[in-house]
Amino acid sequence: MKAQAGGTAMVSRIFGLAAVAAAAALSACAVNVPENAFFWPESRLEREKIVLAANPPPDAAESLSLPYEGGTIAATRIRSAAAPRPLILFCGGNMFRRSSAGGSAARKLEPFGDVLMFDYPAYGETDGEADFAHFAAAGAVMAATARAQADAEGRPLIAWGHSLGGVVCTDAAVKARADVLVLETTTPGARAAVNQQAGLMRPFVRLNLAPALASIDVPAALEGYAGRIIVIEAGRDETLAPALSQALARQLRQRGLRVEHLVFPNAGHNDVGRQPDFEARMTTALAR
């Protein structure tokens, strides 16, 4: 089976809750949502017989190997613009790896500056385990690397998280003191996303999230964040419903943070960057 990284064909696979919730409602059972429900490392792709189509970063991109507690992080730096244009630290979705989505990520982000992207632990060429502890450790190293590169080159720093990457890049933005945080088609937290996936069955199901999932709270993590935040909503998102982006923007504003909420009404979860007005609107938003 071939699939695009993060594609909406994977919706039913992300949490696997629809059928489970229905069964639980009928049997009055609880549903346990494990930590690894969000992750698609290489071992899971092999088990599910999923082959991601090749879509690597540009040939001229630089490959980086960065040590962290889980081994080595495989990263890519794409130099497309002279300073002082921004450096963008990109955190991809739960199917992202550079080999299968690095090219499209570069095309989307290059109009706004240089790009620094990486494979998550147990994804692509990065060592480690696919759990939130390793993701946090890798994110901290990427945040420090991005901050050091931006400072050395006199560039503003943008942290840009798509889907699951919104959680990873939120932590990175705080640690790196990023000037701007972009949260693209993501969620306020894991519980909100799981509740949305459960749909109409939610009132009848007791959902028990693993502690690492239950602790995810993007607005709380950004308490006191000094940078600007841009929340991007896709009006036709079938993976993380538009209501999640709306709730995220609302909760961030309630904490007194500087938030701009951009809605692309015809976009799905993965094609915001292909909307005809995307580049113009993002250029304006990033320049404010």
pLDDT tens profile 216-247: 999 999 999 999 999 999 999 999 999 999 99
For residue 268, name the pLDDT band (cuts at 50, 70, 90): very high
The answer, yes or no, to whether residue 101 has pLDDT greater than 80, is yes
Q: Give mean pLDDT, residues 59-77.
A: 98
For 103-132, letters b (16+ CB in 10 Å) and e give bbbbebbbbbbbbbbbbbbbbbbbbbebbb
Return the DSSP state at 226.
-
Q: Where are the domains of the chain?
A: 56-188+216-287
CATH hierarchy code of domain 56-188+216-287? 3.40.50.1820
Interval 74-88: pLDDT, tens: 999 999 878 889 999
What per-residue confidence (pLDDT) applies to 173?
A: 98
Identify which of 163, 216, 169, 170 has the alpha carbon closest to the alpha carbon of residue 191.
216
For residue 198, name the pLDDT band (cuts at 50, 70, 90): confident
Q: What are phi and psi of 85, to 5 degrees?
A: -65, 155
Under 8 Å between Cβ of 222 and 257: yes
